[in-house]
Each structure stands twice: as C-alpha cells, then as structure tokens.
A and B are shown apart, each in its own frame.
Chain A
Amino acid sequence: MKKASIVFLAAVVFLAAGLIPPGIAAAEDKTITIGGKNFTEQYLLPELARLLLEKEGFKVNLRTGVSTVIARQSLEAGQIDMYYEYTGTAYTVFHKQDDTGIMISPEKVYRWVRDKDAKKNLVWLDPLPLDNTYTIMMRRADAAKAKIRTISDFGRYVEKNPGKLTFALESEFWERPDGFKRLMVVYGFRMSPADVKRMDMGLTYLALKEGQVGSAMGFATDGRIQAFNLLTLEDNKRFFPVYNPAPVVIRKTLEKYPEIAGILKPLSEKLDNEAMRILNASVDVEHMSVSAAAEKWLKDAGLR
C-alpha cells in the first residue's frame, strides 16, 4: 500500500496547487482593474495609469491583451473598471455611426460618445491629444517608384494593376465599419481576397518590412513605422475618424473614487503623437519592458 499512498500524496500536492488562484488581492479597498487591448500603446497606457494610481495608494490589476470588442464587453459587464478607448472607435464600432461631419472633429466626436455612453453609466474622462489613426503603409522605395502618396493613388494603382499589390491587415481592421472593407467602397477600388493577407496583430509591420507583402495596415503612433522606414499614405478623403484615447470608467467606480480623474489628468495634457511614438518605439524597437518605458517617461515628464 506504500506505493498507493505515495501516488495519492503526490496527486494531492499537485492538485492542491489548483485551488490557490494566483494574485489574490490582499486588501479589497482601493483596488482598480484596468483593461487594455492587444497592441503596444494599449499595454503602455494602462501601465502609465497604474504607476500614477499606485503613487496615490491604489492597488491596480491589469487585464490587457484582448481585442477591442472583448475589452468593451468586459467593461460593460463590470469585469474591469476602466480601459482606454479611442473616440473614433467608439463612434464607429460600438455606436455604428458614420457622420463624417462629426467624426473628423476631435471635440465633436468626443462629446458625442461621452454623452451617449453616459446613458450606459460609462464615464469618459479627459481625452489625450494623440490621434492613433489607422494608416496604410508601404515601403518608402516602393511607394516612390509607383508614385503612390495618398490612399486614392493606392486605389487607382490596385485597379490598374490587379494582383500586383498585396495588403496585410489585422482581421479586426477588415471587419470594422471604419475598416478596409468599407474603405475600399469609399475610395472606389477592390482588392481580391487572395491579395488581402489577414494576420494577427503586430505581424503586419514585420510582413511589410520583410517584403512578404507590398502594403500593410498600421497605427499612426507605432514606433516601428519610423524604425522600419515605412511611409504612411495620406487619407485624402478623410475616411478615418479621429482616434483620441480617453479613460472610460464605470460610473460606480468613479463615484467611489472621484480622485481618479485628477490623477490621470496629466496624461491628457502631455501625451501627444510625438511623445507616444517615442514611447512605443522604446518598447517595440529598443525592446525596453513596458513598465521600464512607462517609468522612464513619467520620470522625464516630472510626474514620478
């Protein structure tokens, strides 16, 4: 029976590990859960928020690395207390609007989504000045050779030379109302599905750099655009809305801790496109860790 008891004991030890969930919060008070999406900027913003909040005595849990829709749903379900959402994204994806007059004006679109979400008990705090719009990128040399500078040029080139240009994008971008499917309709061209390479977040920059595709989608503030020497095409028809990120917080949480708005305010004053690009680059190109990059930036900005 000795062997059986050894087995039993080993099993109990191993399985007992299964009953102790990781990260049990010691104290219940002043704890906030911040969500985030699955690209570098969306790992940095929650980290910056966390550092600022922890300085004021909060305990912060991060649940980053999910898609736009999952982040929004977990906010609405109360699984997270806040996350940084972009005005343009909320306007087009969640509220399914397409009024160009509103979406290209930072103030109008911010006010619109803030008022609409207030009815859902979601509070939009002050927006950040940066505009992380979608862009279409090409390698500089190729764009120069084909004389492509705007998305209209791009569309014309695709129509005249079917099959010569491939485009890498992330599947979210394909399906979204502010995404590629509708962009082709607005700009009046059609790329065949065989030329549209869908891949997971982040691979698009690599695929373009390595020459696997002729063009790719990217985010305007990504540090890799400069590092990989890529060109962003001009959105001449103003198809894309403005994308200013702002903390979106559950009203109940904000009522419990109204000081959050003040703590996070410095970010809305100092983080513009240039600053964000440098921050992103320090993570994506220089391979600093997210927390190190965030710490450094806060220190340099005199906030830490």
Chain B
Amino acid sequence: MKEESFRRPAAATGIRSLLLVAVFIAGIAAERIGLVEYLSDPWEREYVLFLAGQHLYLVAVSMAMALVTGLATGIIVSRKRFRKFAGVVMYVIGLGQTIPSLAVLALTMSFLGIGSKPAILALYIYSTLPIARNTLAGILSVSPAIIDAARGVGMSPVRILLEVEIPNALNVILTGIRIALVINIGTAALGYLIGAGGLGDLVFTGINLMRTELLLAGALPITILALAGDYLLELLSLLIVPKGIRMAG
C-alpha cells in the first residue's frame, strides 16, 4: 500500500462530470423505486435526518480520537530514538484494519455492551492506522537536506518538527486523514448491528424487508457523505498546504 501514502490520482474534470451524470441517472432510478415517495413522508424524513445525525456523531467522535492518537503515534515513531519500533507499532495498529470490521465491532461489543460506545471504539481502532502510517511516511519523506539546513540555522528539534517536517508532510498526512474518513463513514453503517443506530439502520432494514427505497435512503446518504468528506478534505489540503510544497510534491 506504499503508493497510497502519496498521491491519489487528482480527480480530473472528466470524473466529476461522469459522476454528475451518474447522480442524475440515479435520481431518476430512485424516483422509480419509490425513494422520492418515501422521503416525502415527513415522519420518515425526520427519521432519516435523525439517523444521519447519529451517524455523524459516531464518525466525528471516533475521527477526533483517531486524529489525536494517529498523529501522535506517527510523530513519535518518526523520531530517531523510536524509529526502530516503527515496524512493530505500525503492524499492531494495522491489525485494527486487518481484522474484519464486523469482528472488531463484535469484540468491542463484548467488552462494552451495546450502544454507541463500542461502535465509537471500533471506528476509532479502524481509523487510526491510515493517519498514523501516513504521518510517519510523510515525515520520513521530508528531504534530509531541508532538515539539515534547518538544523544548521540553529532550530531546535521541536521547531524543526513544527515548522519544517510537518508542513512538508502535510500533503501526505491529509491524504491519510481522507482515507481514514472515508473508511470510517462506510464502516459506521455497521454500528446498527450493535445498537449504535446510524444510517445503517435503513440499509439493514431495507434488506430485511426487501424494500429498495429504504436501502437507498440509507446507502445514498452514506456514499454522499463519504464523497463529500473526501472532497472537502481535498479542498482543505489545497488551502492549507503551502504552495511551494505542493508544487515540489
């Protein structure tokens, strides 16, 4: 997965217009399936929004936790002193992703019972790896020449970290956060199975009752949220990554 740490192919306008066409077709299909009718019932609309709120809550809390540990782990393990532990640490964190998401949820459920807490824990475990791994990879990829120059100018290690290493690694780190976010939003759909609510409710109910409009009422928002989150983070990286670094990267 090494090349994933770096650049995702920049989405050309070609893909965006393709997506628009797909969305348009999907819209017509949705109407035929009864999705529009379903959503025109205010009771159901209220419920979909409520579930979306629950879903976002699960994502937000777990992402916040994952950001903290992911960044911290990546930074700590990039320090010369701890670099030898990098392999082991990354493997252990990586287990959280190797192990199937359903299994992680089942395991957290047996420790924390049912509800949103075990779901948040499971999502946190799942989202930490991409962030940690990309933070490490990003920092390690900063040209040693630049770091030497900074040291030569007399910067302290902390200042080097904050003013040289991290800004240069920002592009890669943000990509890691994007990957984590998309995985998180998708996996949160399983939270329903352990009583955490969220849009997965509509998906599973739709399957159980063979009612495609319910399935879509759940699956479409999740997919849209994931795509939106991905797009927003891409915008964010365009804004905050200093131009010089972006062009060099």
User: Which residues of A does B touch, CB under 8 Å?
Assistant: 67-70, 73, 171-172, 174-175, 193-194, 197-200, 203, 206-207, 210, 212
A199 to B43, CA, bound (A): 19
Whether B208 contacts A172 by the Cβ 8 Å rule is yes
> Chain A's nearest CB lies how many Å from the CB of B235?
33
Known contacts: A73-B210, A210-B113. The answer to whether A197 contacts B192 by CB under 8 A is no
Q: Mark B182-209, 1 if CB is under 8 A from A, else 0.
A: 0000000000111101000100110111
**CB within 8 Å of A: which of B200-236?**
201, 204-205, 207-211, 214
Question: Does B50 belong to the interface (CB within 8 Å)?
Answer: yes
B209 touches A203 (CB 8 A): no
| Complex Cα spacing A171 to B209, Å | 9
Which B residues are in CB contact (< 8 Å) with A210?
A: 113-114
Asked whether A69 lies within 8 Å of B205 as measured between CB atoms, the reply is no
Q: Chain A residues near B115 (CB, 8 Å)?
A: 212
Give the docked Cα–Cα distance between A35 and B130 (Å): 42
Known: A172-B205, A198-B201. A203 touches B50 (CB 8 A): no
The answer, yes or no, to whether B46 is at the interface (CB within 8 Å) is yes
**Chain A hits for B197, CB < 8 A:** 197-198
Pair A193/B192 contact, Cβ less than 8 Å: no
**Residue ID in chain B nearest A210 by CB atoms:** B113
A174 contact set on B, CB distance < 8 A: 205
Q: How far is the CA of A197 from the CA of B204 in the complex (A)?
A: 14
Question: Is B91 interfacial (CB-CB < 8 Å)?
Answer: no
Contacting residues, chain A, for B201 (C-beta < 8 A):
171, 198
Alpha-carbon separation in the docked complex, A187 to B210 (Å): 28
Q: Is the CB of B210 within 8 A of A70?
A: yes
Q: Specify which chain A residues have a CB less than 8 angstroms from the CB of B210 in the assembled complex.
A: 67, 69-70, 73
Residue of B whose beta carbon sits closest to that of A201: B208
Query: How far apart are B131's CB and chain A's nearest CB, in angstroms?
Result: 30
* A175, B219: Cα distance in complex, Å: 18
Residue in B50, B113, B114, B193 whose beta carbon sits within 8 Å of that of A193 in the complex: B50
Contacts of A198 in B (CB 8 A): 192, 197, 201, 205
Q: 28 pairs across A/B with beta carbons < 8 Å?
A: A68-B208, A69-B208, A70-B207, A70-B210, A171-B205, A171-B208, A171-B209, A172-B209, A174-B205, A175-B209, A175-B211, A193-B46, A193-B47, A197-B197, A198-B197, A198-B205, A199-B192, A200-B192, A200-B195, A200-B204, A203-B114, A203-B194, A203-B195, A207-B114, A210-B113, A212-B113, A212-B115, A212-B195
Residues of A within 8 A of B114 (CB): 199, 203, 206-207, 210, 212
Contact B195 A197 (CB under 8 A): yes
* Interchain CA distance A102-B108 in the complex, whole Å: 47
Residue of A nearest to B201 (CB): A198
Interface range on chain B: under 10, 10 to 19, 20 to 34, or 35 or more? 20 to 34
Closest to A213 in B: B195
Give the docked Cα–Cα distance between A207 and B46 (Å): 24
Besides A193-B47, A200-B204, A206-B114, 18 other A-B contacts (C-beta < 8 A): A67-B207, A69-B209, A69-B210, A171-B209, A174-B205, A175-B209, A175-B211, A193-B43, A193-B46, A198-B197, A198-B205, A200-B192, A200-B193, A200-B194, A203-B195, A207-B195, A212-B114, A212-B115
Q: Which residues of A contact B195 (CB under 8 A)?
A: 197, 199-200, 203, 207, 212
Q: Shortest CB–CB separation between residue B212 and chain A, in angstroms?
A: 12
Partner of B209, one of A67, A199, A207: A67
Q: Give the residues in chain B near A197, CB-CB below 8 Å.
A: 195, 197
The CA-CA distance from A212 to B43 in the complex, in Å, is: 24
Hey, which chain B residues are within 8 Å of A68, CB to CB? 208
Of all chain A residues, the one with the shortest Cβ separation from B48 is A193
Q: A70 contacts which chain B residues (CB < 8 A)?
A: 207-208, 210
CB-CB under 8 A from A200, the residues of chain B are 192-195, 204
Please measure, in the bound complex, the distance between the C-alpha atom of A68 and the C-alpha atom of B47, giving whole angstroms. 23
With most chain A CB atoms within 10 A of its CB, the pick from B50, B194, B208 is: B208
Query: Does B208 contact A67, Cβ atoms closer than 8 Å?
Result: yes
Q: How far is the CB of B186 from chain A (nearest CB, A)?
A: 18
Q: Nearest residue in B to A194 (C-beta to C-beta)?
A: B50
CB neighbours (8 Å) of B46 from chain A are: 193
List residues of chain A with CB within 8 A of the CB of B193: 200
Complex CA–CA separation, A86 to B193 (angstroms)? 25
Closest to A70 in B: B210
Chain A: minimal CB distance from B121 (Å): 17
Within 71-129 of B, Cβ neighbours of A (below 8 Å) are at 113-115
Q: How many angstroms between the C-alpha atoms of A246 and B81 in the bound complex? A: 70
Interface centre among A68, A174, A203 (most CB of B within 10 A): A203
A5-B145 Cα distance, complex, nearest whole Å: 43
Report B43-63 residues with CB < 8 Å from chain A CB: 43, 46-47, 50
